[in-house]
Structure 1
């Protein structure tokens, strides 16, 4: 698939113990279904050709011989198919039986991978029938064909070079030093696990976390296929719990006991990007054999089609309410702890903050209040300053005052209209010219007031600007761009909303909650221009674009370094459909965007991101709270004079 996506699946056929012919038919049906759904990797459970719970029947020559024939039949069924299928069966070699995975594609067995760790405790007694596999790769005879056999095999796709497949079997995942570790260090980007994990109370959750953890630790995709109905229930029950994970994120899973197939796409580009960023992820491929294969003969055209996996509209905001609440609490504590430590270090009992009645200054004031609580300081030492001017609305002004009152901070109301008008006279600027000078003069006057108050009261100025504004350069240089500690500097606008709402939902102060909800419902605005007949507010998002789009762009551009084309495609998946309509942030009424709108604002994002780096190159200190930061001392070492032409050219081609 185009842009590094590969569609994968894990399937649990309903089997009959020791009935290899029947089981092969069920497996082939799943293969045909998966091929129709354009799946490129299909994983089946451990020993699915015979059934896992055959016990001492594995010693029977008839069963071993039939299993091999049915594996060959399954392979033959894939002659005209692109997908790679992996099935489990017992393979006898030199008088010993190996629990084995057969990797099949286009009518051929690409390799046989044995299970390395054989459990022999509790309900498992595999060591009675099977021996541990071997790492070293040798050639064996398989029904007249010469086939590679061993653990150290990687299967490398020539059509998609980033798709490198490694295989482990059930217990191999559960041991401290799994084969998958070595597979990934040798270059595997996707691991397939053929499993027969019986169901116990609480085991599904543990299994789920184990798969997620393995995919996170090894920065890989992980496809886990589990045995299900048809296995013996003499002592055990198998649930067919199939899982697909990617770099710590669960993409898809089946319900327990449903005996079904689960399908999703693994983003190989994401895996490659993450490994590229981690200079500690190093290894070597010594002792490994790489088996090449192709999805199709000749020049294979990677297809672009609608993704099955869900692309979140708001990647910084968890969908789950409990997780969101937990995330907000953690972030809020990080912000407050950073400020608490800074105040304690310099011995200051005063914090100066400009409060506009908007989202960012609201969050900054709330964080400052928490820091003062932790320090045991009198909140009268928080100098909360309102500085109304030409565009200040009654709504935001009253909300700012109410918020300050509820927190118990000291309110200073310092109108700056006369000071700005005097400044216009000093520099010879026409006050009727509502240009950038008109706007920025207000921002810089406010910063001057705050800085001088900090000097006067031996305090520090708390920065309020968020990461979305910094990425877009939506800040006045040496105006609101500047502070002495920026508590919101690594928090995107969509998350600012969630944090303010979290405080509103959790506070015991009903008056405070009421004010916060109204602030959340107020359009985002710099309030630098006077109101007009058509609109009371100067709306930021009409000028730079919707913040939910820009936060989406920012996540994939800065977190993973994706190409403009891929970012655009992901945005189309997320924002041109209604599948995520319930995850609409308060204040964001528009839930669907056209292709033209997305492309337009993505172009704006790249232009502003490159052009405004000089503002980020001299940012004040501020705490990093998530995986992305634009601090020049941390995550973003970017020249201020780089050109955006390469990225914009790709977007221009998309619009043709």
Structure 2
């Protein structure tokens, strides 16, 4: 027979280096946990300073301010009579560790450093932290004087240890440790630990949530017990979005689920009616036992729990990829907007799939904001007041809110068609954005006139007899003029309407275009932030179909039916003659496959060819596959330098080409790939 334990886990929207705001959110979560009777509260990874401090972790200021915030937590009456589990960086023996600090009633119980670091993809933890490699080893940590003054302690246990209360035993995992084949919960479970906790900063990617949930279910299926999962929420100041999803699992069942996407800064879950039952393997006496730190405290109340019902499993609701695109980037945009101090967004809206997807994400953000205000979220309403500059304003409808904070502009030229102009206008009308039509021909001709005065020459399009170089330059000058005008209108359009503030410029280049560099450097893809820069064209089309049904945006049907085009070359009989896929030499669906092979499967030209001749054997011959692979790597290597200036984008897929933060590859290549392509040619000669 188990006993009732009362524990709480939470998701917090922390912000790197926002010590004051982070502290307030931590205290709020503890207050909510206590109000619900919880005796233990778990928070996300590095919650005191924020996970995304990056090279600020090197600074002594970050360590100092983290301890100052910890002191305020220890002193607060809110933190009394509840075990608080918080995350912060700590220097021990001149080595920096990513740690959990567990304290109760102004006493630090233990400090548990992270043992397995996240050091791939978006993560660079080994750049700032060292792992605690001493399995089952515990040392004395000398507390800073400011903490000693509060706790009366000189030293506390530091290392691989667990917390033993009068009625149970709690063991800690930190984020990536759950994903490791050597997860600490395995050995802790064999040693009789009953409650496992995981403090995480796990970012959102499309189709990733099920991996996280299945790992947690598996952890308690094998050895039984309770697993509490806390996660960071929000953008934290960088390209990734942490999607929350706090949860509780018991003996292999999910029994509580927090929202994956939410505008709430603090989401706290309590488990007031949880049996501390354990089903699983008996303790293993053949390995070294966990070091137990004992505390005279109980997570359960006195009394007979015979009538307490057993836990009730729930069915986890997984969002579809279309829902994830609708919700994740929208929450990220709102965090960025409200924290940047700007008054809204400006988007060059071309009437194509990409810019329309960005527009729909902003519309989704407005839907979420209106719903949050209707639900009584005072923080969201306060932030809306600050963004629109009106303390009396209360959003009533997403279209009406959109008209206040979202400006779209169609920047047409003599090469633009009436169809794209109409599609952009129709979508703007349906979502409610303030829309402008801007003709760029005068600006383009002015720039070309300057060139002509200096050189005596006037470049021509290919269709008018110009060379390839002239044709490319004529396209690029249009694209770059659009970028200059986008920023001009972002800075001054509200001023022209007699309103305060400026607008953030939104980009709309998808992940496949970034992969090949199919855009002009410093064109209108250059923006402040890009919500779709990590999403494939294939997923964006599915997302727009979802928006047609979810938001009744019927204008999207015509946008989806039209072939993707940059409209930078002259029209033929009034019709578009240039298409993206023809320019790129491959379809967007083919690009998605190539991107995954390049990044996830770590393929170079030859190994990619070897895989694709089997994957595409029913559609393409080896010779055709070889042509596509070589064409891709030429485009990729010629344009790789563009990734050094790409607009910061919402990270949504694991094959993002985002330079320096996620995809660490050179930007100067031998674009001929002579050795690699020769290997492909030799293979084709054998099997043409």
TM, length-normalised to structure 1: 0.47
Larger radius of gyration: 1
